[in-house]
Amino acid sequence: MPVLTMPIHRGNNRSCSCISSTGRRAQLFHFALGLLVGILGSNFFQGASLFPVTDMDAYRQSVLLGKDGREQETTMTTSQQSKITISNTGGAVVDSSSPLLQRQQQQRNFLEIARQSGTDKVKGTLFLPSCLENPQTCRKPKAKNPKCRVGAQHFYDTVYQKWLGPYSTDTVEPFQFLEIGYFNGKGFDAYADFMPRAELHSMEISCLPPGKQSEGKWPWGNFAARNVHYQALRDARRLHCGDAADHAFLRGVWTTHMKRRGAPPLRVVVDDGSHLAQHMATTLFFWFPRIEPGGILVIEDIEPLPEAASFRTGVVPQLLLDLHYCGNDEHFAETVCFPTIQPLLHAVHCEMHICVLERNQEPAVDTLSEQDSMPPPHALDAMKCLQRKL
């Protein structure tokens, strides 16, 4: 089976954020700022907890506009296209020979690659500067939280850089990556460029044969076929057409095309499919146990929409209950909400509308019955677990 690796899209030089000729004084200023940031002990790609920025929107805007000097320092040469050169630590804190920094320097830049592919995963970030020109209209109508934006509202670059960055290097061990919801493949193209060592798979319902849904077909047109790589992906058995909420389809793809002899291990699954809460839960219960130790499951678009709401109000709270479970009922009677997930769960990391579930070091489980591979009846109802009425 050929390994499909998409070539990195070469951006034109105008999109390269190189230091401009107008920037001598600004360069000095940015150098001093970089030094200060370094002294304050921050490293953006290490997590922003020490970074002296309190307003994330202002921060993102400054990154995009290059006001904090990072854009100038995130220079991409032709030979290093899409790889990050981090020098905003100013060298004051992190030794440039440190293995950690060297590994980070090998990482590609998700925001830049996603911008080139046109995926909506970073549209919020890219749109924000112009959106904020009028803060009143930039906020979603009636939204009390000013962070709820109009239009493209995804700001997933920070999550993806942090969690997929280590998978984006040229030296990472080959691994499998599964996306649920291919649509027209712009997200998939971004992943392919970002993680050239990944064996990428995707699932999409709209490339089922045209026809009535009641007959297991799809009546509304093939979105996936709009992508130039469509046929190649189909031929290589990387794009799987079917319903990602259907256990038989999931098992078929997994056993036939993914868990092949000699196949690289499954490390990452991303759910960007229907965003129906029940389907998101299906992804969790089928795929999380099958992800290798230390891998991740990313669930996108956990938004306060009616269709997705009960994932946020039902599934996420139960995951958090399980995360802190000890089972010493001495002081407080405890129940494991999700017995097939809890023993494998290391952490839950969420930013607005997106969560990353991290696998612990327990081996992957592929012996679950069909029933245990699907959401239990109380999956979307946290109260049932809290009241121990499972």
Ligand X SMILES: C[S@@+](CC[C@H](N)C(=O)[O-])C[C@H]1O[C@@H](n2cnc3c(N)ncnc32)[C@H](O)[C@@H]1O
- Residues near ligand X, by CB under 6 A: 119, 121, 179, 181, 183, 186-187, 203-206, 223, 243-245, 272-274, 279
Q: 141, 151, 117: which is closest to 229 by C-alpha?
A: 117
Q: How far is the CB of 6 from ligand X (least distance, A)?
A: 14
Residues 6+ apart with CB under 8 A from 327: 334, 336
Q: By C-beta, is 223 or 285 nearer to ligand X? A: 223
- Name the residue with the smallest CB distance to ligand X: 187
Q: By C-beta, is 226 or 260 nearer to ligand X? A: 226
Token pair recorded at residue 299: 């669930």
Q: By C-beta, is 57 or 271 nearer to ligand X? A: 271
Q: By C-beta, is 253 or 321 nearer to ligand X? A: 253
Q: How far is the CB of 243 from ligand X (least distance, A)?
A: 4
Q: How far is the CB of 155 from ligand X (least distance, A)?
A: 14
Please answer whether residues 47 and 71 qualify as being in contact, where contact means their C-beta atoms are separated by less than 8 angstroms.
no
Please answer whether residues 42 and 89 qualify as being in contact, where contact means their C-beta atoms are separated by less than 8 angstroms.
yes
Q: How far is the CB of 190 from ligand X (least distance, A)?
A: 7
User: What angle is formed at CA 196 by the lines to CA 194 and CA 199, rounded to 5 degrees?
Assistant: 115
Q: How far is the CB of 245 from ligand X (least distance, A)?
A: 5
Q: How far is the CB of 204 from ligand X (least distance, A)?
A: 5
Token pair recorded at residue 46: 């290490």
Q: How far is the CB of 326 from ligand X (least distance, A)?
A: 36
Q: How far is the CB of 385 from ligand X (least distance, A)?
A: 26
Q: By C-beta, is 72 or 282 nearer to ligand X? A: 282
Please tell me the distance from the alpha carbon of residue 213 to that of residue 301, in angstroms, as a whole number: 25
Q: By C-beta, is 6 or 245 nearer to ligand X? A: 245
Please tell me the distance from the alpha carbon of residue 231 to that of residue 234, in angstroms, as a whole number: 5
Q: How far is the CB of 198 from ligand X (least distance, A)?
A: 15
Q: 109, 253, 104, 268: which is closest to 174 by C-alpha?
A: 268
Q: By C-beta, is 245 or 297 nearer to ligand X? A: 245
Q: By C-beta, is 157 or 243 nearer to ligand X? A: 243
Q: By C-beta, is 186 or 378 nearer to ligand X? A: 186
Q: How far is the CB of 244 from ligand X (least distance, A)?
A: 3
Q: By C-beta, is 86 or 297 nearer to ligand X? A: 297
Please tell me the distance from the alpha carbon of residue 253 to that of residue 202, in angstroms, as a whole number: 10
Please tell me the distance from the alpha carbon of residue 287 to that of residue 340, in angstroms, as a whole number: 11
